[in-house]
Structure 1
């Protein structure tokens, strides 16, 4: 009985303090690969890179960040295959395109590699591929919550500036917003591309052709900064209702200057940090949180921006 109680006490202690144990256990060469869909030009992922570095240092593991330089999904699928072939202790991957990535991700799982999906994708997609869990923001719900805020302000039409229209999550954001304000998405969503000058010109052209547009929604720093410039140029900055996803220095300034009403914070730091912590504890001790984790949405407004502005682009 005494031996049994000792085992129970040990197991309980390990479950209660996995992070403390992980910090002192031998890393034994653990290596994880984080595969994102982001092109090199997308600065939003810098926060996730920061988080990976923090987790790497705290846990004594190696973390490799890999991505397709131009954001090409075919290249991303090949990167997942290459990552699996290298025999890592775990893979973290965004589900930017389920049809293109489900095969390589399933293959990694079938090889016995633990996988956690993050950012883009749904809980259901993650589970169907055999991933341990999904960590991210339910994108339709986030867009819908944003639209409900806009509806209370009387918004009935909008422009969704979609800089990554091939990613289903981006469309879900726009659709959720449209449903909340009672509008058909239709041509209110534009494929802006990722070139800043092109984004600015497309926003100017749309608002010129649709002067009664009630709001603008951007989906991240890539489209937010050029849209701010467009609104300053056409004189609508501060007059048209403007909300955005994610944070950056430019977005923080836009909130402070009353150009942007709010920014949705999906806490990307958690999307980088938590998978490494969870996979490390899974591999070392067999511990796993038994559910998916929603890292957002949260709303940052002028009332709260001062608390996070200095961390935008690094930890927020």
Structure 2
């Protein structure tokens, strides 16, 4: 055999060997990429629901988180706080001490309160996700993802929509209830007030009191007294789904009829859907709480198991009105919307 032939034969053999190696590698990679059931099994997480067990908004968040737990397989401890920011902060301190693999935390306590605890979590190698209220300063320094609305933008968009749908004019009077003094969480209601005031509406702010979110009936004396003092009020806004779902009780206690006042707020729930059905509620900004339960669990699992970067998603999707509430009514009764 000539030297040239020998060289060609050797080259051909090398090519076959290389092709075989590529095929084996591809087969190996293909096998490794097969879908896995319960791929987050063995991971320990703590999830902050925010509210009390059984409250309208917290239940939907909880349902989303439990669905993610079932789909992905981690072990999840659920923390209920009754929307008490001081209690949330203490519970986060306790959660970090347990040293889980990851924590999904409500952002209600705000950047200042959460900053030292985020530092402690980072030092301990605990992955973090935040939901419902953004904490941009904490995330900028210590990382983590956020699932929920950008509350200031959502609040402003709600105020613009209220002015349009309620037909409010300069000089008209409206109420807005919310936690105005809370740096991060109150940005939503402050945004709504700003948008309405820019349209010339006189907005009277009603500061949330401890316990209202957990039991809206505690607000009955304040809401009814405000309506009695300002009989000219044309619109009333509420700073959460529990309060919005209690609108029929507020209006009946004040002697108002369905539609007499334009009632608006944030979130959907079976109670809010009934409010739309009865003509008591006219507008709700939808922040999709089910996603605020599901995606933080997914985000933590992806960070811990696959070393992916954290998920961040704005869930402030749009508005529920008397024209479209029926589209989500069944899902609301199922605890998904």
Range class of TM-score, shorter chain? 0.7 to 0.9
TM-superposed CA distance for 1:58, in Å, is: 1.0
> Is residue 215 of structure 1 aligned with residue 231 of structure 2?
no
Local SS of the residue matching 1:159: strand
Determine the C-alpha separation between the residues in 1 that align with 2:330 and 2:161.
Answer: 25
Deviations 1:110-151 (A, max 9, x none): 2111101111124x2342341321111011111111111122
Q: Find the counterpart in structure 1 of residue 191 from structure 2.
A: 176
Match of 2:147 among 132, 135, 139: 135
Taking structure 2 as the reference length, the TM-score comes to 0.80
Q: Which has the larger radius of gyration?
A: 2
Task: Give, in whole Å, the separation in 2 of the partners of 1:96 and 1:287.
Answer: 26
Whether the aligned pair in 2 keeps the contact of 1:199 and 1:227 (CA below 8 Å) is no
The question of whether the paired residues in 1 share the 8 Å contact of 2:89 and 2:109 is answered with no
Query: 1:280 is matched with which residue: 289, 292, 301?
Result: 301
Cα deviation, residue 187, structure 1? 3.9
**Compared with structure 1, are the counterparts of its residues 246 and 28 closer, same or farther at alpha carbon in structure 2 (3 Å cutoff)?**
closer
**What SS class does the counterpart of residue 167 from structure 2 fall into?**
coil
Deviations 1:238-259 (A, max 9, x none): 1211112111222101112222
Match of 1:161 among 177, 180, 183: 177
Q: Secondary structure at the match of 2:319?
A: strand
Q: Using a 3 Å threshold, how does the CA distance of structure 1 residues 210 and 7 change in structure 2: closer, same or farther?
A: farther
Structure-1 separation of matches of 2:48 and 2:237: 27
Partner of 2:105: 93
Once the two structures are TM-superposed, the CA of residue 167 in structure 1 deviates from its matched residue by: 4.0
- Corresponding residue for 1:17? none
In the other structure, the counterpart of 2:35 is: 21
Kept in 2: contact 1:161–1:223 (CA 8 A): no
Describe the superposition over 1:255-283 as per-residue Cα deviations: whole angstroms up to 9, x where unpaired. Answer: 12222112111111111111111221222
1:38 paired residue number: 51
Judged with a 3 Å threshold, the aligned counterparts in structure 2 of structure 1 residues 8 and 102 are, in CA distance, closer, same or farther, namely: farther
**Matched residue pairs, number?**
305
Aligned-residue offset at 1:221: 3.0
**1:105 shift after superposition:** 2.0
Task: For 2:98 and 2:79, locate their aligned partners in 1 and report how far apart those are by CA, in whole Å.
Answer: 13
Indicate which of 180, 202, 206 corresponds to 1:189: 206
Please give the alpha-carbon distance, in whole angstroms, between the structure 2 residues aligned to 1:9 and 1:293: 34
How far apart are the structure 1 equivalents of 2:272 and 2:240? 9
| 1:207 shift after superposition | 1.3
Does 2:87 match 1:67?
A: no
Q: TM-score, normalised by structure 1?
A: 0.85
Contact 1:203 1:230 in 2 (8 A): yes
Gaps of 5+ in 1: 15-19
- CA distance in 1: counterparts of 2:317 and 2:222, whole angstroms: 28
